[in-house]
């Protein structure tokens, strides 16, 4: 079975450029989560969707970050404009339904903003 | 801010040794989860705990949900080289729709 699929695996960009990260959750999963991982702050939840609707976006750092889930099989996380402090590994995870269910993580996107 | 204290931050052990790590908090949790992350990959769920006092095993791994609901531990018996990685605890706070992660325990094994 295919797990959570993220693309790209690596992204190197210059400060000020727009970055779009993509995620395909596991088929049949109703909940999708975007996390950011850094050495300093560990794993932080950015936003959580349930049935394609954003439920909690309190972790989104600022207006430069936006996330969409146009359908049950696709989500994007966009950073515009990007800054060096956005450099991190961004993970997408999905679950059958909400927090009580087990979260399955993708392999992540390693983002470097120069 | 960080609501979970995971310790130790790192461990260096010999192959075959047992390993123990834990997470504590001043807050009450409804769920405790233990994940392992290999380099270049996302965390993978090892064990999920849903009730206070629950003790669950997965092969050589054993985890417990503390009676006070404020802590959890993970034990690995007879460690092998493939156990190397970063182990994370995660918990769902009572009354919160959110999973909070510990800072991780990096396990290194000398063969």
A108 touches chain B (CB under 8 A): yes
Distance (Å, rounded) from C-alpha B97 to C-alpha B25?
17
Q: B35: which chain A residues are within 8 Å (Cβ-Cβ)?
A: 105
A57 touches chain B (CB under 8 A): no
Is residue B98 over pLDDT 80?
A: no
The helix, strand and coil proportions of chain A, stated in percent and rounded to the nearest 5, come to 5, 55, 45
Question: A1 pLDDT band (50/70/90 cuts)?
Answer: low
Size of interface A-B (CB pairs under 8 A): 49
Contact residues of B toward A, CB < 8 A: 2, 31, 33, 35, 40-45, 48, 50, 88, 90, 92, 97-99, 101-104
The confidence score (pLDDT) of residue B1 equals: 45
Q: What is the mean pLDDT of chain B?
A: 92
Q: What is the mean pLDDT of chain A?
A: 94
B23-76 pLDDT per residue, tens: 999 999 999 999 999 988 999 999 999 999 999 999 999 999 999 999 999 999
């Amino acid at each position: 079975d295919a797990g959570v699929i993220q693309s790209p695996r690596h992204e190197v960009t210059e400060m000020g450029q727009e970055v779009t990260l993509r995620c395909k959750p596991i088929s049949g999963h109703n909940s999708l989560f975007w996390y950011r991982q850094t050495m300093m702050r560990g794993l932080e939840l950015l936003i959580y969707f349930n049935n394609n609707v954003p439920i909690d976006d309190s972790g989104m750092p600022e207006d430069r970050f936006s996330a969409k889930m146009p359908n049950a099989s696709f989500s994007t996380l966009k950073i515009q404009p990007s800054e060096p402090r956005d450099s991190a590994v961004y993970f997408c995870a999905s679950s059958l339904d909400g927090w009580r269910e087990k979260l399955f993580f993708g392999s992540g996107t390693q983002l470097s903003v120069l | 801010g960080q609501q979970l204290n995971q310790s130790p931050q790192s461990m260096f052990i010999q192959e075959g040794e047992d390993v123990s790590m834990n997470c504590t908090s001043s807050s009450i949790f409804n769920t405790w989860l233990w994940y392992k992350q290999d380099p270049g990959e996302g965390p993978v769920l090892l064990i999920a705990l849903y009730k206070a006092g629950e003790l669950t095993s997965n092969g050589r791994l054993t985890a417990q949900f503390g009676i006070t609901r404020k802590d959890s531990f993970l034990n690995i018996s007879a460690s092998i080289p493939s156990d190397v990685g970063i182990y994370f605890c995660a918990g769902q706070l009572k009354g919160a729709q959110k999973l909070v992660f510990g800072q991780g325990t990096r396990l290194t094994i000398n063969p």
